[in-house]
Structure formats: structure tokens, C-alpha cells
Amino acid sequence: MVALVQQRTFKLDWAYADDIPGSRCGPEDGPWPRPYQVLSDGEVVKELQALAKPQSVELAGRRADSLNFQPSPSTRTQDRYVIKSLTVGGREWSLTGVFDGHLGDVTVEHVCYHLPIIVAEFLEDAYADSPTRLADPSFIAQLFSRSIIAFDNAIAGDVLDLFGGIEGLANYSDADIRRVINDQHTGGANFRKARLNMYGTTALVALVDPDHSNLWVANLGDCQATLVTAMGNNGWDVRVLTTEHNGYNAEEIERVRRQHPNEPECVVDGRVLGALAPFRCLGDTPFKQPPEFTRRILYNLSPGLPDVSPWEEFLVRNRTPPYISTEPEIVHTRLQGEQYLILCSDGFVDLCGGEGHGRIVTDWATKWRHHDGNMALGLLRRALGGEDNFRVSKVLTLDMESAWIDDTALVVQRL
């Protein structure tokens, strides 16, 4: 039986695969039914707070609430979120984001920390060059995109610079490369640069100007941004601002196939080169550089890959990189009235699959409009079952060794 974060006496009941929201587990993950602990309302609140670790901060005069949720004690979440205030020309911009890492958490940690710094530097340089340009929404959209692309290019570029570019690798033996990149004994700067290229992350980043008049959302991958607008007595307008960049999006598949004609295996079973689910993301250098980058640099990292055969399965298909796009999809929206921005990883979208995202968000907005509690925590609880403690308890306390729901990062911002 999974131990609660908050220790207490408990009552047992039984859950079936259909009782667990999302698509992470199913009948094949039996035997079903599985036991879970029935929690009281107060216990649900304490357990949610302990597992999701909700945060609330003041951001440019408005509030932003956040959390990172994974109830399985055996699973380390690879989702991250960021909430930052950027001071440019004496005025305060806000930046929020969620990131869904894959293969490991090294790159997603790097992105979460350093990407806001790069965006701020681009804004500061633009202000120093011509302050009035920051009032142009189209210019900010282009700047936002350029900053993200430049950030990602540096992940591979910083390593290739050590060898004079991808062509320069031919001048180095494997032993030479190992000596350069495995420098842990002298601080490990080169090792850390190289290691970033082994992993990747989706990215969903939002920028709000100092006047709270404009919102820009930059998306790479399958996280989701939702704008919630109060419509007076007519309820709420719930508008999803993003599209998925994965194998469920026919336009993304067509884009990759168009960029790689005569390569039928550029997309296999809805995955890039038959291996990677997101079609746009940060990092994931083996899908963006020629195979020799992976074989000559990443294979020579120590400690390295115990088995390169899974990598070779897609590297043999890598003929005309890049296959993964670094160009974010930018959406600009004018802000007005009472509005909320919800940024979430695909884990939250998965949780909403049963009842429907629009219904869950509308119910949450109606209840939490004048609520002082953490907005992100309230939205998560609504997706897990709301006031139905039996439904929520099943997700929080299911007795299962592996994760039964996907990682969930969530940011809710008053605009």
C-alpha cells in the first residue's frame, strides 16, 4: 500500500482502471481492482498540498499560482514551471512557463532557469536600441521567437565550438574528444555543456507587457495555454491558444514530410524518426544535428550510454537534419477585462479528457472567481474530481508501483 505523505489511519476501498483519469494506465496494468485509501475532505486538502507543493507569488501587480504534481512515490517528475518578473527600462514584464522534460531532467532544469534570462536580455537589448519598438506587438512576437531559437541553438553550438564545428570533429580522435568533454576533474564545464544535448523538453512560455494590455504565448510541443475571460452574466469564454506539435497534428506531420522529401521514415508511427513524440522542442540534439554529433560526442561521454542500440534505431534514419523544429508557434492576444491564463503540461490535459477541458475550467472559474485559495490547486482538484472525495482519493492513493497518471505542471495567472 502506498504510504501517504500525511500519516493517518485510513479506510480502504477498491478502484478499477476506468476510475483513474487520463490515459497513463489501463486494463493491461492489472490486476484490477486495486486498493486505495479513502480520504476525508480535510485529508484530501493536506495530501494535495503535500504532493503538489503549490506556490503563490505577486507578479507585476497580479497573482500567479503554480504547482507540480505526481502522486506516485516511485516517480520523479520531469515537468517544471517558471514564474519571473523581468525589469526592462524600469518597467515590469511578466514571464511564466511550463516545460515537460523527457529522457531526463538535466535539460529541462537548464531551460527553466536560463531561458527567462535570455528573453530578458533580448528585451533589454531592444530597449537600449529603440525603446519605442517594445510597444509594437509584432516586433515583440518576432523578438520572443528569436530569443528562444537562439537559446536552443546555443545548446549544441557551445559544444561544437570546442571542436571547430561539426566539420571539425573529423580532426579529433575519440580519445581526444573524451579528454575534452569529460573534464569533471577540472570543474566539468564541458561535460555539462555536452550532457544537455542528450535530453529535451517541450516549452510553453507566456509574456505579458507592463501595461497588461498584451499577451504573447510561445509554444513548442504539446503543453497547452488557455485564456479564460469573464463574460459578465453570460459566464466564461474558455479559449485554447495553442495547438499540439505531435503526431496527432496532421499539419505537423505534413510539415516534417515536406521538409524531408523522399524520406518515408522521417515520421514513423506518429513519431519523429520513429522515436520522439513532440515535433517541436528544445534540446534533443540527436534529431537536429548529423549523426556524427551523437556518435562522436554523446557516445563518448563518461558516464555515458550503457546501450546505444535504441539510439542507433533512429540515427540510421537521420539523413537531412534537423527533424525537430526549434521555431515556436507565437500567438498574440489583446487583453481586456477580467481574464486568467492557464499554462499546463499535457498531464493536466490528460486528466481533463473524461469530463472535458472546457467544462472543468468553466466550473473552476465560476467557483474560484472570488476565492482566496491557490488557483492552480483548485483547478487541479476540480480535474481530479472536485468535491467527490472518492474520485480524488483514487488518484492520490492508488496502490500501484509505477506512475498511474502523467506528470502535471500548472500555472494560473491573473492578467
Burial level of 138, CB count in 10 A (0-12/13-18/19+)? exposed
pLDDT at res. 9: 54
One-letter amino acid for residue 202 of the chain: T
pLDDT at res. 362: 95
Residue written as grid cell 537559446: 151
Q: Which long-range contacts (CB under 8 A, 24 or more apart) does 105-108 make?
A: 105/76, 105/78, 105/80, 105/199, 106/195, 106/196, 106/198, 106/199, 107/155, 107/196, 107/198, 107/199, 107/200, 107/201, 107/282, 107/283, 108/78, 108/79, 108/80, 108/199, 108/201
- Residue 34 to residue 29: CA distance in whole angstroms: 10
Task: Output the CA–CA distances (angstroms, integers) from residue 11 to 54, 390, 393, in the order listed.
Answer: 26, 11, 11
Dihedrals φ, ψ of 40, to 5°? -75, 175
pLDDT at res. 372: 83
Task: Find out whether 169 and 177 touch, Cβ atoms under 8 Å.
Answer: yes
Burial level of 27, CB count in 10 A (0-12/13-18/19+)? exposed
Q: Coil, strand, or helix at residue 234? A: helix
pLDDT at res. 6: 52
Apex CA 364: angle with CA 361 and CA 370, to 5°? Answer: 135
Residues of the chain falling short of pLDDT 70: 1-10
Task: Find out whether 308 and 280 touch, Cβ atoms under 8 Å.
Answer: no
Residue written as grid cell 475571460: 229
245-291: pLDDT as tens digits:
999 999 999 999 999 999 999 999 999 999 999 999 999 999 999 99
- Residue 385 to residue 15: CA distance in whole angstroms: 14
152-187: pLDDT as tens digits:
999 999 999 999 999 999 999 999 999 999 999 999
pLDDT at res. 120: 98
Helix then strand count (H, E) for the chain reads: 12, 17
If we measure between CA atoms, which residue out of 70, 139, 107, 61 comes closest to residue 347?
A: 70
pLDDT at res. 304: 81
* Prior bond of 31 cis (ω within 30°): yes
pLDDT at res. 140: 98
Q: Coil, strand, or helix at residue 202? A: coil
pLDDT at res. 5: 55
Task: Find out whether 63 and 414 touch, Cβ atoms under 8 Å.
Answer: yes
